[in-house]
Every structure is written in structure tokens, then in C-alpha cells.
């Protein structure tokens, strides 16, 4: 009897675990299947993955991607760098002038900065502000950008961050070092084990900013007490050669949930790593500073992953940094009126490209999104002998028959206290306790005398 009860409990638990039984060798096991038409000439061809495929992925390393031939056999493939065609940028390296002063001085009304020469170095100090008994600390950094005439697209910081602590960077501009105008911001995060100072591709978008004749100031804060100081060594300004539209794979979503004017939430069908989110206010809001956070369960805390300012007439997305999340939250700054109506969302993914050997029987199918799939990627040099970086641009491009305007249907969040899934899990837990109690009773009950 005990064995039967235990087997029943395990069967119920397996049925409610949420894991889908799938055979990665079967094309029908994949959530998205798109027709692929090879180009003329060349057995090895490139495929730029569309947003539909990227949105369906279950694996953070893109292991659940296959290209099948007409007989259902997977083709040999390698994953290469992102698709070409992104807007070209000129980079300008800037030295950082540290800002020192009493803690909290920059938040005081009327605070001014002064550039002073000390032992051959220039140091920026706070010369007017509250007097604090604590010793001077580094409050931020100043950059001299007065000679930059072109429009600025991004700011990439050369900084050392405390590991595993999110740090919010705020960027401001000024013409006189006294009156400062917000220009952008972002939350950056360094994982444990990363190279010291390595922020990867993280860049703070500056929304085509005009810095001619102006200074740039970068300051930082954290919701927690930092375990180590932030060290800002310098920065690289990305100056646009041409103002092309963002061409990352993008997919629009169904309407998100509007909890209130300052709280917008959306849930993806499965966790995904997003490169950015384009948020289009639907009521013509002129300026809405926002912070984005993510989590994977209602009982988890929100993790900040990005911030930015939405401006009327600008389509600049909010860049994100972080892991794969299913639940996302958009918080509008409480100093503003927030969103008068539910905004429209477009999800942007980092580009990905495949090199595929089309040696099977057509028709061919690109499949993406299957639980439990293992990586089948070869090294790019095995498909392209003598490969050099960028050589994939010369490969023929196969066409993927993706939708012209794909739409992703957002999932319904499971954030209620007594959802059906939670009720079943609690029932299984109580059932398991009862099984254990019955086993203990059988072991301890007195035998026949």
C-alpha cells in the first residue's frame, strides 16, 4: 500500500513539474518551425536568426536550434558572430576626472564643481555644499566633452565594480559645471569571477546627445551598501557616423498589464535574455524615466536590469543587462505622472547568425525552442576551412520565411496566492507528508504478541 501511494505521488509530481517531454531529434518537438530556402551557389550558407526563433529559445546558450532537411535529419551548423549591418560608430576615448567631496554633497541644492590643478593632475572638487564630518569620498567623475561636435549615441565605462551588486550610473551634462541636465543612465552588474573591470558590451545609451561645448558627469548609487568602492578610470564615447535605425531582431508583444500609472508588467511564455525593450507611450507622454527589473517567480525579489528615459519623438530602446527572466516590471519615476495608458512594447534580441551545411534533401526547416535539447554546434573552422573573423559575411545567405510583423503573445502571470498550480503542489506536499507518516507508523507499530 505504501509503495502504491508513493508511486502515485511521484506520478502526480511529474505531471505537475511543468517540464515538457520533448524529443529534440523530432522537428515537431520545437515551438517554432520556419521554412528555409537556400541561396544559389555554395553548400555552406549563413542564416540570420529571426526574432520569432530567438523568442522561442529555451536554452540561454541557444542549444535548442536545429536546421532539418526534408527527411527530418539535422544539418551540420556552427554559430558565428552577430549579423552585420549595425550602425557604425566612431569611438572617442575620454579620461576621467574624479569628483571628491563630502558624502551626499552632489545631492545638495546649489552644489558646484571646480577643476583644480594638483601635483600635475586635474581634480574636480565640490566647492559649495553641506559640511559633513566624514572624510572626502569619490562621488563621481567628470568628462570634458566640449570638443565633440557629432551626435553621441552611447557611453561605455571603464570601471571596476563590486561583484554581485547592481550599481546605478547616472549621466548628466552641463555647460558651466553648476546646472546639470539628466542625459541617461543604466544599472550595471559584475558577476563573481568576471575579470576585474570587465563590463562586457554594456553601454549607456545617450539618445543622440549633443555634447558640443558641454561637460559630462557620471555619478553612481546603489540600493545596498557597496562592499567595495566603484573605481571609474575612463570612458569611451560612441559617436554616430550615420543615424541608422536599430536593426536588431525585434518582435512586438500583446499589451502588457498596467497595474497603475507607475507599474507596468509583462510575462514571457518562457525565460528569455532580452537585449533591450522599446517602450512606446500610448498617450503621448513627453518624458517618463523608467527602471526595468526581472524575476522568475512571484516569491523572488525583483532584480534591476536596466533604466532609461522615454521621450516623445524618440524610439531609443531601454538597454538591458542581466540573466534570463520570465517576469518583467517597468517602473515609471514617481516624480512624474507615469503612463496614462498601457504602453506598446517591442522586444529586441542580440543578433545571432548560423553557418549551415546544406547537404540534405529539401525542403529545409529552421526549428527553435525545445526543452532538453543539447548543443550540436560545430566549430566554425570545421565548416569553413581557413576561417577568419568576418568571413561569414561572404557566405551566401539563405532566406528564412519569417512573418513580416511577428507578434509575441504574453503569458498570464502566476502571481495569485492560491493559483491552481500552487494548490496542486501544496496538495502533493501534504500527500507526501501523509505517506511518510504512514511509513513511520508501520515501522514503529508494535508487532503481534
CATH superfamily, domain 250-348, is Galactose-binding domain-like (2.60.120.260)
- Distance separating alpha carbons of residues 2 and 268, to the nearest angstrom: 40
Give yes or no for a contact between 76 and 69, defined as CB atoms under 8 angstroms apart: no
Please give the pLDDT value at position 416.
54
> Using the 8-state DSSP alphabet, how is residue 380 labeled?
H
Coil/strand/helix, residue 324: coil
- The whole-number average pLDDT for the span 213-240 is 85
Q: Residue 62 pLDDT > 60, yes or no? A: yes
343 Cβ neighbours under 8 A, 6+ residues apart: 256, 264, 279, 280, 281, 282, 330
Strand-pair partners of 204 = 155
Return all residues near 405 (Cβ < 8 A) that are at least 6 apart.
Answer: 252
Report the half-sphere exposure of 130 (CA within 13 A, side-chain side). 10
> What angle, rounded to 10 degrees, do the helices at 420-444 and 2-15 form?
160
Q: Assign 3-state DSSP to the chain and report helix, strand, coil percentages, each to 5.
A: 15, 40, 45
pLDDT of residue 87 exceeding 50, the answer is no
Report which of residues 105 and 344 the model is more confident about: 344
Count of helix runs (H) and strand runs (E) in the chain = 4, 28
Given this model, what pLDDT does residue 137 score? 75
220's grid cell: 553612481
Q: What mean pLDDT comes out for the span 381-403?
A: 84
pLDDT at residue 278 in the model: 94
Q: What is the mean pLDDT of residues 274-290?
A: 91
Beta strands in 176-314 (DSSP E): 181-188, 204-210, 215-221, 231-240, 250-253, 257-260, 263-272, 276-280, 287-295, 303-311
* Domain at 89-240, CATH from 2.60.40, 3.40.630, 2.60.120, 2.40.160: 2.60.120
108 compared with 267, residue with greater pLDDT: 267
pLDDT above 50: residue 244? no
- The mean pLDDT of 393-416, rounded to a whole number, is 83
pLDDT at 310 over 60: yes
**Domain extents for the chain?**
31-80+354-407, 89-240, 250-348
**Does residue 280 have a pLDDT over 50?**
yes
Contact of 309 with 182, CB cutoff 8 Å: yes
Residues, the chain? 449
In this prediction, residue 216 carries a pLDDT of 92
- pLDDT mean over 179-192: 83
Cell of 234: 575612463
Average predicted confidence (pLDDT) for the chain: 80
444 or 21: which leads in pLDDT: 444
Residue 447: per-residue pLDDT? 59
| Among 448, 357, 445, 446, CA closest to 2 | 445
Distance from C-alpha of 66 to C-alpha of 366, rounded to nearest angstrom: 6
pLDDT at 415: 56
Cβ-contact 135, 164 below 8 angstroms: no
Q: Using alpha carbons, list the distances in angstroms from residue 368 to 26, 55, 116, 335.
A: 12, 9, 58, 43
pLDDT of residue 351: 86
Three-state SS for 121?
Answer: strand
For CA atoms 132, 137, 139, 145, the dihedral sign is positive
More confident residue, 218 or 84: 218
State the Cα–Cα distance between residues 196 and 180, nearest whole angstrom. 31
- Please report the pLDDT score of residue 156 as a whole number: 87
Q: What is the pLDDT of residue 207?
A: 66
Query: What pLDDT score does 18 carry?
Result: 45
Work out the percent of the chain whose per-residue pLDDT is above 90: 37
pLDDT at 210 over 60: yes
Amino acid at each position: 500500500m505504501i509503495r502504491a501511494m508513493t508511486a502515485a505521488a511521484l506520478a502526480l509530481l511529474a505531471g505537475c513539474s511543468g517540464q515538457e517531454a520533448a524529443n529534440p531529434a523530432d522537428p515537431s518537438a520545437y515551438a517554432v518551425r520556419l521554412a528555409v530556402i537556400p541561396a544559389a551557389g555554395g553548400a555552406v550558407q549563413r542564416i540570420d536568426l529571426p526574432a520569432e526563433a530567438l523568442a522561442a529559445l529555451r536554452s540561454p546558450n541557444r542549444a535548442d536550434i536545429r536546421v532539418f532537411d526534408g527527411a527530418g535529419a539535422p544539418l551540420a551548423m556552427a554559430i558565428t558572430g552577430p549579423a552585420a549591418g549595425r550602425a557604425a560608430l566612431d569611438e572617442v576615448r575620454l579620461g576621467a576626472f574624479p569628483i571628491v567631496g563630502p558624502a551626499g554633497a552632489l545631492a545638495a541644492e546649489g552644489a558646484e564643481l571646480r577643476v583644480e590643478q594638483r601635483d600635475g593632475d586635474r581634480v574636480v572638487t565640490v566647492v559649495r555644499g553641506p559640511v559633513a564630518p566624514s572624510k572626502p569620498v569619490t562621488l563621481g567623475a567628470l568628462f570634458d566633452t566640449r570638443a565633440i561636435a557629432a551626435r553621441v549615441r552611447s557611453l561605455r565605462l571603464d570601471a571596476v565594480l563590486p561583484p554581485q551588486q547592481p550599481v546605478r550610473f547616472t549621466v548628466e551634462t552641463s555647460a558651466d559645471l553648476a546646472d546639470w541636465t539628466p542625459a541617461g543612465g543604466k544599472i550595471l552588474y559584475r558577476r563573481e569571477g568576471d575579470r576585474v573591470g570587465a563590463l562586457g558590451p554594456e553601454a549607456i545609451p545617450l539618445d543622440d546627445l549633443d555634447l558640443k561645448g558641454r561637460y559630462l558627469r557620471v555619478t553612481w548609487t546603489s540600493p545596498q551598501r557597496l562592499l567595495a568602492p566603484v573605481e571609474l578610470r575612463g570612458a569611451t564615447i560612441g559617436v554616430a557616423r550615420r543615424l541608422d535605425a536599430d536593426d536588431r531582431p525585434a518582435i512586438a508583444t500583446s499589451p502588457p498589464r498596467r497595474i497603475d500609472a507607475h507599474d507596468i508588467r509583462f510575462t514571457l511564455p518562457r525565460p528569455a535574455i532580452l537585449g533591450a525593450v522599446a517602450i512606446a507611450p500610448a498617450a503621448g507622454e513627453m518624458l517618463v524615466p523608467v527602471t526595468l527589473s526581472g524575476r522568475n517567480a512571484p516569491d523572488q525579489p525583483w532584480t534591476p536590469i536596466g533604466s532609461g528615459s522615454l521621450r516623445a519623438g524618440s524610439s531609443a530602446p531601454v538597454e538591458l543587462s542581466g540573466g534570463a527572466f520570465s517576469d518583467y516590471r517597468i517602473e515609471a519615476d514617481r516624480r512624474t505622472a507615469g503612463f496614462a495608458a498601457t504602453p506598446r512594447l517591442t522586444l529586441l534580441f542580440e543578433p545571432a547568425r548560423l553557418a549551415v551545411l546544406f547537404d540534405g534533401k529539401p525542403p529545409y526547416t529552421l526549428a527553435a525552442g525545445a526543452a532538453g535539447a543539447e548543443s550540436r554546434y560545430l566549430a566554425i573552422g570545421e565548416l569553413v576551412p581557413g576561417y577568419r573573423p568576418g568571413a561569414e559575411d561572404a557566405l551566401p545567405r539563405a532566406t528564412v520565411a519569417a512573418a513580416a510583423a511577428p507578434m509575441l503573445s504574453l503569458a498570464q502571470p502566476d502571481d495569485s496566492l492560491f493559483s491552481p498550480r500552487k494548490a496542486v503542489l501544496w496538495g502533493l506536499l501534504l500527500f507526501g507528508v501523509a505517506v511518510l507518516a504512514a511509513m513511520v507508523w508501520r515501522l514503529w507499530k508494535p508487532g503481534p504478541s
